[in-house]
Amino acid sequence: MSIASLQFFAFALCAALLFRLSHAARWRNSVFLLANVAFLATFSTHLLLWMPMACFLAGGYLGIRILQRTNGGWWFVGFLSATIAAFFWLKKYSFLPDSILIAAPYATIGLSYMFFRLAHLLIDTHGRDLKAPIGPVSYLNYMLNFTTLVSGPIQRFQDFANWDVEQRALNWRLVGQSLERIVVGFFKVAIVSALLYSLHLRALGAPSARDGLLQREAYVCVVGGAYAIYLYYNFSGYMDIVIGVARFFGLTLPENFNKPFSANNFLDFWRRWHMTLSDWLRFYVYNPLLQKLITTFPSPALTPLHGVVAVFATFFLIGLWHGQTGVFAIYGLLLGLGVSGNMLYQIAMTSALGRRDYRAIAGSFSYQMAARGLTFAWVSLSLFCFWADWDQLRVIGASLGAGGAVMAFAMLAIVAGIAYAAFEIVVRLAGNFWIATGPALMSRYARTVYATTMVTVVLCTILLLTQSAPTIVYEKF
């Protein structure tokens, strides 16, 4: 079942109504578990297809219960290593020999996000951050939560566990806010991302041998830029839908986006994009690795470089997690170079100018415009790995050459910087129209008009044109 579909909305609504029939915790946990299992059944009803995932879940729960009863470090190392190995094995990473993989088909829906949840549970159980024993129903509801199963967000169990005692009562205001969030999400996925993806595909197929180098550079800019914006609307729209749906069950999911294209550098971009993934890796990978480097090589002069090494390793792992092929090693390398190069630049500028003068320069309008353009261009470049295989990358590289590729990158950075500056000016001007309750364009009346228009457009697109929404890109990870 696609998240961006009327069927999913109907399924979630029916499950929420059943969930709200009783305030009893046992009833609600049971209904939620039933909804999670029913959601999985929409992908396949063949039990054998789910056996590898069932074993993954059972092994993880066994590890948690054993770690709760023992302080043995070797138990923790063993279960965590087995979890990582099982994830690589079930996802069929290309570096594994085919002879050890399961040849028969099986389901892996949501496995990547289950891996993050299970690894977090094992680490926090070993570190005694989880005090109370985790029951099997709570464990399964956390691991199989249908609102976060497919593509996140990644929620820690400590936050999810509060659900049992802090479930928010529904009121008309909360219902209205949730429905508005869902409508916005559907519009992003079904309309905006669909149009942007169509633009991406058109530009990808447009170049010909008769085109000059400047035209080919322009096409590549459109291909990369359109895909980056498409991915944002596709993924953030999905998040809007599941965050809105989760509220019907009293669940408050963490936000995953915070205006990422307004970031002034690549580090800041990843503080705003897929924030729950970035936070998870910072907490469980970057911080321990940085601490290990500091204790192993204790030197105040080396401490900034420790951070550079740790952040490169962390983001390289982010790239590898996204896919099983060698292309995603390139993605990890681009991410690692982006964040580590950004950090080295900040260290050098702070050392040369001083913290105060550097901040003054970085806060200027022209600097921010250039920085945002460069950030967007690097994001677009790294995202080539999401849609292009080795053959496509070779064709694009051969059509541009080294000089043409650099010029295309510069062209995209300049256009993106100017476009975002113009967008900010328009938003600032629009915010000048006020009424008694606040900005006119954000009033309840205006938002009702927006939501009604979006519902009409989405329904016309889905029902009249029989066009389904694009799949959520992050489902395949």
Structure token digits, residue 427: 């938003």
Query: For the segment 118-150, what is each residue's pLDDT rounded down to a tens digit?
Result: 999 999 999 888 877 899 999 999 999 999 999
Q: Is the pLDDT confidence value at 23 over 60?
A: yes
Q: To the nearest 10°, the Cα dihedral for 374, 375, 378, 382?
A: -170
When pLDDT is averaged across residues 12-19 and rounded to a whole number, the result is 95
154 pLDDT band (50/70/90 cuts)? very high
167 pLDDT band (50/70/90 cuts)? low
CB atoms within 10 A of CB 360: 12
Residues forming a β-bridge with 468 = none
Q: Is the pLDDT confidence value at 269 over 60?
A: yes
At residue 324, the pLDDT reads: 83
At residue 168, the pLDDT reads: 60
Please tell me the distance from the alpha carbon of residue 360 to that of residue 342, in angstroms, as a whole number. Answer: 18
At residue 145, the pLDDT reads: 96
At residue 469, the pLDDT reads: 66
Instruction: Report the b/e string of 94-109 with b at 16+ CB within 10 A.
Output: eeeeeeeeeeeeebbb
Q: Is the pLDDT confidence value at 172 over 90?
A: no
The residue to which tokens 């905006």 are assigned: 192
Q: Is the pLDDT confidence value at 329 over 70?
A: yes
Tell which wins on pLDDT, 469 or 46: 46
Q: Is the pLDDT confidence value at 335 over 60?
A: yes
At residue 467, the pLDDT reads: 65
Please tell me the distance from the alpha carbon of residue 265 to that of residue 272, in angstroms, as a whole number. Answer: 11
Residue of 14, 318, 3 whose CA lies nearest to 150: 3
Give the single-character DSSP code of 150.
T
At residue 445, the pLDDT reads: 81
Structure token digits, residue 132: 């109370």
When pLDDT is averaged across residues 11-28 and rounded to a whole number, the result is 93
Structure token digits, residue 425: 């000016």
Radius of gyration, CA atoms only, the chain:
24
Q: What is the average pLDDT value for the chain, to the nearest integer?
A: 90
At residue 468, the pLDDT reads: 67
Q: Is 439 helix (H, G, I), strand (E, B) or coil?
A: strand
Query: For the segment 345-369, what is each residue's pLDDT rounded down to a tens digit?
Result: 999 999 999 989 999 999 899 999 9
Q: Is the pLDDT confidence value at 423 over 80?
A: yes
When pLDDT is averaged across residues 162-180 and rounded to a whole number, the result is 76
